[in-house]
Structure 1
Amino acid sequence: MNQTSPFPKYPGGRGQTPPQSDVIVIGAGVVGLSTAIALQSRGLTVTVLDREGPAAGASAGNAGAFAFTDILPMASPGILKKAPKWLLDPLGPLSVPPSYALKIAPWMYRFWRACSPARVAHSTAAQTALMDLSRAELEPFLAASGTLPMLRKDGNLQVYETEAEFQAALPGWQARARHGIEFQHMDADQMAALQPGIAPRFIKGTFTPGWHSIADPRLYTLALAQHFRAQGGVIEQAGVTSLRPVEGGVEIDGTRLASHVVVAAGAFSHRIARSLGENIPLETERGYNTTLPPGALDLRTQITFGGHGFVVSNLSTGIRVGGAVELGGLELPPNFKRSDAMLAKAKAFLPGLDTDGGAQWMGFRPSLPDSLPVIGHARATRRVTYAFGHGHLGLTQSAGTARLVAELVTGHRPAIDLTPFSPQRF
C-alpha cells in the first residue's frame, strides 16, 4: 500500500493479531460476496465471514429476479389501502403473528410515516438512482465474475383480476413511464399469447420486457463465492456479534483485528451495528416459497400475482412459487401453511401447474421501514461500512451496492448521492 492508502500499518495491541486482510466483509450472501469481489478488484485483500457459509440465507431462496423496474417503495399509500384486508387473512400476502405484534409496533409506525406522499417521492427518487446504477453495473459484474451465462431476459407479467385492480396500478406505471421504463398493457388474449394457461379470472396484465432474472439465485451466489476464492479471497464460517473501534482498525469479537469492516449480514446486521451504539430499525420480512421440479409448468416469463403477494418464477432448478410478507422476526418457527396457501392459489391461477414433489423454504428478508437499504459508514468509525436492509431487492441491487461500498472503503466519491441511504437517517 502507498502512503495515501486508507489502510495504515497496524500499530500492534495486546491480545490482538495483525490484520490478515485489508477488509473483512461480514456476510456471504449476494450483497456481501458482490461487495467482496468489488473490493478485491480494486487490489484489496478481503476475507468474508459468515455464520453459516455462502448462500445460506435469503440469497438462496429468492425469486431470482433483477427487478430494476420496481422503483416504487413498498412503503406507499397503495400498501396502506391493501394492508387492512390482507392482515385479516393469517395466510395472506401480509401477516403479523399475534405474538410478535407488540414488538413490531414501533417499526410499523415508522413504516406508516414513510407512506406520506412527500416521503414516497423522496424514496422513489433514491430507489431509482440505485436501480439505475445497479442495472448499469450488472452485466459488467457478471462478465467479470464469470457468471454472465446465468443471466436471463424473459421479462415479467403482472396480472390483474378486475378493472378496479388494474386502474389502481396505473399511477405506478405512469411513474415508471416518466422514468423511461418500457412496458405493455395487455388484455386476456394478449396475455394468453405470451403465457398460455393463465386462468380466465385474470382479465388484464402488464408486461415488462426489461425484467431480468438469474438461472438460480443459490447457484449464482455459490458461483460468486467460487470466483472470489479463485482470486485469492478467503471465506470462513464464523458468527460475529460485536465490533469495536481501536487504534489502527476495528476489533471483531475481541479476538480479531481488521483495517476495515463491511457489515452485510442481512437480517442479522442490526445486531452487529448495535454493538457500535447504533439502533437501526431493521425488521425481518419472512418470505416463503415452494420450488417444484423442472417441467412443472411451461412457464415462459415470470408472473406476478400482485393482488395475492406472490410470484411464479422459472429457474434452472425448477418452478418457484413464493413471496408474501410475514413480519415475524428471527426467532419464531416457520409457518409453512403460508407456502401451502400460495401453492394452492398458484394451482388455481395456473391450472396446468403440477404441484407434486415441491421443496418448501422460509428465509429472512432484511427490511427497513422506508424501503431503502443502509449504505454508508457507521457513526462510531469510518472504518465500518454498512450495506444491508435491501428487503426484496438484495439480488437486484447487489452489483450497484458493491460498487458504492467499494468506493466508500477506498475513499472515492460514490457514484450516486448516498444521503437517502444514510445509516443515521433514523
Structure 2
Amino acid sequence: MAGRSTVKDAQVIVIGGGIIGIAVAAYLAEAGRDVLVLDRSGVCEETSAGNAGALAFSDVLPLAHKNMLAQVPRWLVDPLGPLSIPPTYLPKLFPWLWRFMRAGRPSTFEAAVSAQVAMMTLAEREWSGLMTRSGTGHMLREDGSLELYESEAEFRAAEEGWKLRRRFHIPFRHLERDELAECQPGLSDRFLRATFAPGWKTVADPQRLGQAVWAHAERHGARFMPATVVAARTAGEGVAVNLAGGKKLSCENLVIAAGAWSRPFAAGFGDRVPLETERGYNTTLPVGAFDVKRQLIFSRHGFVITPLDSGLRIGGAVELGGLKRPPNFSRSRAMLEKAARFLPGLKTEGGRQWMGYRPSMPDSLPVIDRARNEPRVLYAFGHGHLGLTQAAAAGRLIRDLVLEQSASIDLSPFRAGRFRGHG
C-alpha cells in the first residue's frame, strides 16, 4: 500500500486550458513529459476564444506609460469609454491601481520595457518554431497593423512611444493622410495620420489556432480532463490537486496557468500576487461586413478591428471590475457604433457579443516563476492583453524550469514576489 502512494496521475498537471496552458503542455509533451491539462470549460473556450488574434510582438510599452496615464481622467468620465471602473469596485482595486501608477515611474518603466522586449523577441522566435512543428503556419497573417490618429496632437503624443521602440530596432513607418487609403481603403476622413508596424502579425482565428496547438500536444501524449480545480497543496514527494466533487490527483510538477483565476492558487503556495482582471468586450461581425486589410488600432478609443476567418472582430477596452460582476454589453455596442463612424459602410448587423477576463499585473509583465514555498509548482499567468502573443515564450520558459535548464531570458523581472514590500 505504501508503494501505491507514490504513483502519480501525471508527471505534470497544468491548471488552465487557455492558450498559455496549451502552449506549456505542448512544450512539455514534446520534451517527453506526461502532461495532464485541467480546465472546467475545454481547450481555449474562454478568454482565449475571443481575443483580438494579434501576435503583437512590437507592443512592448507597459500600459502605465505617460500617454496612457494622461488619458485616464478623460476615459473614466465616460462610463462607456476605453477604461471603466465600477465605483463599488474601486476600494478593492485601489492597491492594484497604486502599484500601476508606480509602474509608470521612469526607472520602473524603462526596466519593464527592456524585460518586455526580451520576452517579445523570445515569443516571436518560439512561435515560429511551434507553428512549424504543429503545422499551423498557414494560420499566420503577416500584414502588419495600422494605428490611426484623428489629430496632430494625438500623433505627437504617441510619437514618444514609437521613438522608444526605435531604440530596440522595432520597425515602423509614419504615414501622412494621403497614404492612408492605400493601407486601408474606405476609412473615414477624420483620420489625419497613422503608423504602420510591419512586424505586427495576426492569426486566422485565435481559438482554432489554440485547438490546433493542442492537437499537436495530444500527438505527443498530452491529455485533457474537464475539471474544476478547487485547491492544490504539497503532498509528500509531489503536489496534490483537489477537484470539485472530491476527486484528488497527484503530480510531480504543477503549472498554474489559470489566467485571471490564478491568484488564489498562488496564495496557497505563499505568493500574494497583485493580479487583477481586465474585462474585455468585443463584437464579431459576419464575414463580409467590411474589407479590412490588416488590424486597425484606435488607441485613443481603446479598441482594435481584426479581420478573422470567422468574421470581423471589433473589441478591446478595459473594465477593471473583477470576476463576479455581470457583463455590461453596452461597452461592446459603444465600440461597434464608433467602428461604424470610422469605417463608413460597415455592416453592423448579425454580430456576436463576447466578454472575457484578461489577467493583468500592474507592470504589464507576466509571472513566470517557481512558487515561493514549493519549487515543484510553477506559475505562468498575468499576461494581460498579450496572452496569445507570449504563449509560445511561456511554454518554452516553463519547459526549461521543469527540466531545470537555463532560461532563455532573465526571469528576474517576471518573479512572483517582485511587488512584495510595495504596500
Provide the residue aligned with 2:71 in structure 1: 82
Contact 1:64/1:313 (8 A) holds in 2: yes
Q: Distance in 1 between matches of 2:2 and 2:204?
A: 46
Supply the AA of the counterpart residue of 2:370. H
Q: Deviations over 1:338-393 (max 9, x none)?
A: 00000000000111211010000000000011110000100011100000000000
Provide the residue aligned with 2:187 in structure 1: 198
Q: Distance in 2 between matches of 1:226 and 1:200?
A: 45
1:138 paired residue among 113, 118, 127 = 127
> 1:46-85 counterparts in 2 under 5 A?
46-85=35-74
Provide the residue aligned with 1:6 in structure 2: none
Quote the RMSD (CA, aligned, Å): 1.3
1:121 matches 2:107: no
Contact 1:166/1:204 (8 A) holds in 2: yes
1:165 matches 2:158: no
Q: Unmatched 5+ residue regions in structure 2?
A: none
Provide the residue aligned with 1:260 in structure 2: 253
The offset of 1:17, in angstroms, is: 7.1
The offset of 1:11, in angstroms, is: 7.2
- Secondary structure in 1 matching 2:379: strand
> 1:209-248 counterparts in 2 under 5 A?
209-248=198-237
Contact 1:77/1:116 (8 A) holds in 2: no
Supply the AA of the counterpart residue of 1:307. R
1:300 paired residue among 290, 293, 298 = 293
- Secondary structure in 1 matching 2:228: coil
- Secondary structure in 2 matching 1:356: coil
Q: Structure 2-normalised TM-score? A: 0.96
Q: Distance in 2 between matches of 1:93 and 1:180?
A: 29
1:319 paired residue among 303, 312, 325 = 312
Provide the residue aligned with 1:4 in structure 2: none
> 1:374-413 counterparts in 2 under 5 A?
374-413=367-406
Q: Distance in 1 between matches of 2:418 and 2:230?
A: 23
Supply the AA of the counterpart residue of 2:94. A
1:343 paired residue among 329, 336, 340 = 336
Supply the AA of the counterpart residue of 2:238. G
Contact 1:31/1:395 (8 A) holds in 2: yes
Q: Structure 1-normalised TM-score? A: 0.95
Contact 2:270/2:371 (8 A) holds in 1: no
Contact 1:266/1:366 (8 A) holds in 2: yes
Q: Deviations over 1:272-298 (max 9, x none)?
A: 112223211110000000000011001
Q: Distance in 2 between matches of 1:95 and 1:151?
A: 33
- Secondary structure in 2 matching 1:228: helix
The offset of 1:186, in angstroms, is: 0.5
Q: Deviations over 1:197-252 (max 9, x none)?
A: 11111100000111111100011111122222232211001111222112211111
Q: Distance in 2 between matches of 1:271 and 1:238?
A: 17
Contact 2:10/2:250 (8 A) holds in 1: no
The offset of 1:12, in angstroms, is: 4.8
Provide the residue aligned with 1:357 in structure 2: 350
Q: Deviations over 1:90-121 (max 9, x none)?
A: 00000001121111111111101111011100
- Secondary structure in 1 matching 2:316: strand
Give percent identity, aligned residues only.
50
Farther off after superposition, 361-370 or 73-82: 73-82
Contact 2:295/2:307 (8 A) holds in 1: yes
1:275 matches 2:264: no
- Secondary structure in 1 matching 2:22: helix
- Secondary structure in 1 matching 2:230: coil
Q: Distance in 1 between matches of 2:225 and 2:219?
A: 15
Q: Deviations over 1:57-113 (max 9, x none)?
A: 211000000000001111222221110000000000000011211111111111011
Q: Distance in 2 between matches of 1:225 and 1:12?
A: 33
Q: Distance in 2 between matches of 1:145 and 1:174?
A: 36
Q: Distance in 1 between matches of 2:87 and 2:287?
A: 37
Q: Distance in 2 between matches of 1:225 and 1:136?
A: 19
State the aligned residue count: 415
Q: Distance in 1 between matches of 2:410 and 2:142?
A: 29
Q: Distance in 2 between matches of 1:125 and 1:231?
A: 35
Q: Distance in 2 between matches of 1:11 and 1:376?
A: 32
Supply the AA of the counterpart residue of 1:380. N
Q: Deviations over 1:274-332 (max 9, x none)?
A: 22232111100000000000110011111000100000000000000000000000000
- Secondary structure in 2 matching 1:395: helix
Q: Distance in 2 between matches of 1:139 and 1:41?
A: 16
Structure 1 runs, 4 residues or longer, greater than 3 Å off: 10-13
Provide the residue aligned with 2:197 in structure 1: 208
Supply the AA of the counterpart residue of 1:112. M
Q: Distance in 1 between matches of 2:104 and 2:221?
A: 45
Q: Distance in 1 between matches of 2:312 and 2:86?
A: 28
Contact 1:162/1:202 (8 A) holds in 2: yes
Supply the AA of the counterpart residue of 2:236. E
Q: Distance in 2 between matches of 1:230 and 1:114?
A: 42
